[in-house]
Structure 1
Amino acid sequence: MSLPQIQKAWRATAKGEPSKVLRLDDNVPVPKLNRGEVLIKVQAAALNPVAYKVIMKLIPNFILKKPYIPEHDLAGIVVDANDTEFQDGDEVFGFIPVSAAVKERKGALAQYASISASHIVRRPVNVTPTQAAGIPLAAMTAYQALFDVAHLKPEQHVFINGGSTAVGGFAIQIAKSIGCKVVASASGKNESYVRSLGADEFVDYTTGPLHATLAANPPSQKYHVFLETVGLLETSLYTSSEAYLAPGGIFVSTGPQPKGFDIAGLSRLAWKIFLQPRWLGGTKRTWKLIQVDNKHEDLVKVAEQVADGKIKPLVDSVYNFDDALKAYERIMTGRATGKVVVKVDLETE
């Protein structure tokens, strides 16, 4: 098959909000491949908070040169296997790591994308490309938070703050797949959605401060793992956790996501978590940060659980390629339940 030299791609031309800095360019070179990379004809790409909250809005130009193609998650067809384990025509999914995106200015929001063969796997036949596109980054974050960081064991008790987020939704399913009891929080309107993912119990965080609600109604058996997926800068859930997190239990966070660069808020967070000694009121529980690692063996395990039906895709909404700015408007509301997906190839499912 003869491949084009030029493609359409969304590119960020400056630092700022997606609506102000993203442009659809129909004269972007199709990427050349390095050793170990494959070329994918992108069928669908999914949006991620890190892409617009951190990479697009905060990273300065001297670190990330403009323009660049944004986003990480993708599903598509291999069109140049480049002497890797894959073959042309393989249908795959995976994600481009943040490090590669920043260093090489490449992303998923384009008709063609280059990606390391170790960062993709063959797509299970029981999910469509638009469903698969939203799985890799969020599901691997949840998987590694529970197993690599928290060392979750079968039949333990888990609390997931943000059960309606993509990471939270995948975490519910993964924890349930090994027989854990899962309690999850979200706003009351999302209770049925969170329970449909497998949560045994639900807590509505809008009825009052969540840390106070949990401390006032501690579980009969305290949680072994507390997974915070909302990206809160406020520390009360951690500093109050002795009331509901078992001794030896682990508080895992996906990391604070302040609106803008909140130096005061980040300083308070650092003091409460890293600096305040226990004899000065420090929390007698372990706080850990999950930073997803694009490990091939974990992506394989996630794909196996998808194929087995243990992990179901979480799609909030799907937008056409030309309407990517509307997709960003949706994810930026903070009300998406699951992934916001952009259908790059309009003929794909």
Structure 2
Amino acid sequence: MSSLVTNRSITYINNKSPLIITGEEIDLDTVYSENEVVVEIHAAALNPVDYMLYKFAFPLLVNKQPKKLCMDFSGVIVRRGEKVKEFKSGDKITGKYWHVFGKQGTLSNYLVLDPEKVATVAPSVSFGEQGGEEYDDFVLNAAWPLVFGTALQGLTHSCQKLGPDSRILIIGASTAVGNCAVQIAKNYLKVGTVAGVCSKDSIEYNRAFGFDHLIPYDDGDLVKTTKALISDEWGGGKCDLIFDCVGNSCFFPHINDVLKPQSANSYYVTIVGDRKIVYKAPKISNFFPVWESLRRHGPYKKYNYANIHSGGSREAIDLGNQLISRQEFVPQIDSVWEFDDYQRAFDKLISNRAKGKIVIKVR
């Protein structure tokens, strides 16, 4: 491989500037330090948080330097510093490169990182036959690090002892996080009952991932249907955990009818707040709910509530690799796009209609 290459990237200046492809020449033999590796990116996944950071890049708050996008990636190490211990050139790796308005992003041909400091990087695992013929391992491995870590955090952050006797309700069964959550719950935590909320047209689609019950939000009264499920199917047994992946508020007036008492260490966990985020025009207020605050905090607290944000750790990546190796986890792909079609990929992301991950082939 020639040491002088053009590193093409998707960049922007601020939220008033468009997303464009730019290129810069880099020398692969000198661009890294003794503690770093150079990764040739093969695929990168889009996450709503990636686009929201772009939309929150107000001109008065950010500098005028080009900024790069995205965090999830899979690729191959093409250069390795002499002090890097775990990895070598030629290794396939998967991970999440966390940054805010970064000079580097994963929608680039090359990424330079220190594996010791970027703790969410690990060797890639092949999906084998469970990956199917439609997607290669690079696409599949780019699709899961951030959402898997977020789902795992939502299921385990409160140290709940979830297991065969537990009941979970996932609001947003068709989302990438919801899809990861049901697979973790059933195949790793061995949760006895997992119900999901989705559109009536998505029920059969989601059933294949392990949901025991699926409740349509667009066919009748969602709260009444959920209460009927608890009464008729669960014998009055309420939820140990409600995991909201889309932004919902309809259960709060009826929280005692669907969620176990807070003394039982039950939780309502959300990753987006109480309102659905419109990705085309996200608002910071979505992440800071107001009306329910008195019932969640202080002396008026009525139930356990947590608003978590995008998760990820080396432990989560290692667990994901274990489940992949045991054929107990595969990320759901909505669509795959070529690098030059990045704008169409982002249009699909902000449509709020993706089922699974949107992945861009970078290499």
Q: Which category describes the TM-score, using the shorter chain as reference length?
A: 0.7 to 0.9
SS of 2:88's equivalent in the other structure is coil
Q: Is the 8 A contact 1:149 1:252 kept in 2?
A: no
Q: Supply the distance in 1 between the matched residues of 2:126 and 2:153 (Cα, whole angstroms).
A: 24
**Aligned residue among 165, 182, 190 for 2:202:** 190
Task: Give 1:8's aligned residue.
Answer: 8
SS of 1:235's equivalent in the other structure is coil
What's the % identity of the aligned pairs?
24
Q: Supply the distance in 2 between the matched residues of 1:119 and 1:158 (Cα, whole angstroms).
A: 27
- Cα deviation code 1:166-185 (max 9, x no counterpart): 00000010001132111001
TM-score normalised to structure 1 length:
0.87
TM-score normalised to structure 2 length:
0.83
Residue 96 of structure 1: CA displacement?
A: 1.0
Task: Give 2:40's aligned residue.
Answer: 41
**Aligned residue among 244, 252, 277 for 2:258:** 244
Task: Give 1:235's aligned residue.
Answer: 249
Task: Give 1:284's aligned residue.
Answer: 302
1:330 aligns to 2:329 (yes or no) = no
Q: Which has the higher helix share?
A: 1
Residue 151 of structure 1: CA displacement?
A: 2.6
1:197-276 equivalent positions in 2, closer than 5 A: 197-215=209-227, 217-218=229-230, 219-220=234-235, 221-230=237-246, 232=247, 235-247=249-261, 248=264, 249-256=266-273, 258-259=277-278, 260=281, 269-274=289-294
1:145-184 equivalent positions in 2, closer than 5 A: 145-149=154-158, 151-155=160-164, 156-177=166-187, 178-180=189-191, 181-184=193-196
Residue 37 of structure 1: CA displacement?
A: 3.5
SS of 1:270's equivalent in the other structure is coil
Q: Is the 8 A contact 2:272 2:287 kept in 1?
A: no
Residue 145 of structure 1: CA displacement?
A: 1.1
Residue 309 of structure 1: CA displacement?
A: 1.2
Amino acid of the structure 1 residue aligned with 2:158: V
Q: Supply the distance in 2 between the matched residues of 1:116 and 1:340 (Cα, whole angstroms).
A: 27
Amino acid of the structure 1 residue aligned with 2:176: A
**Change over 3 Å in CA distance of 1:266–1:157 after alignment to 2:** closer
Provide the aligned C-alpha RMSD in A. 2.5
How many pairs does the alignment contain? Answer: 333
Residue 216 of structure 1: CA displacement?
A: 5.4
- Cα deviation code 1:147-173 (max 9, x no counterpart): 123635211111100011000000010
Q: Is the 8 A contact 1:157 1:182 kept in 2?
A: yes
Of residues 145-154 and 111-120 in structure 1, the stretch that sits farther from structure 2 once superposed is 145-154
Gaps of 5+ in 2: 132-136
- Cα deviation code 1:268-314 (max 9, x no counterpart): x23413567798xx662111122234321221111111221111121
SS of 1:326's equivalent in the other structure is helix
Amino acid of the structure 2 residue aligned with 1:15: N
Q: Is the 8 A contact 1:253 1:289 kept in 2?
A: yes
Q: Supply the distance in 2 between the matched residues of 1:96 and 1:253 (Cα, whole angstroms).
A: 23
Q: Supply the distance in 2 between the matched residues of 1:131 and 1:264 (Cα, whole angstroms).
A: 33
Task: Give 1:299's aligned residue.
Answer: 317
Gaps of 5+ in 1: none
Task: Give 2:326's aligned residue.
Answer: 308
**Change over 3 Å in CA distance of 1:35–1:246 after alignment to 2:** farther
**Change over 3 Å in CA distance of 1:33–1:169 after alignment to 2:** same
1:81 aligns to 2:92 (yes or no) = no
**Aligned residue among 310, 315, 319 for 2:337:** 319
Q: Supply the distance in 2 between the matched residues of 1:201 and 1:140 (Cα, whole angstroms).
A: 24
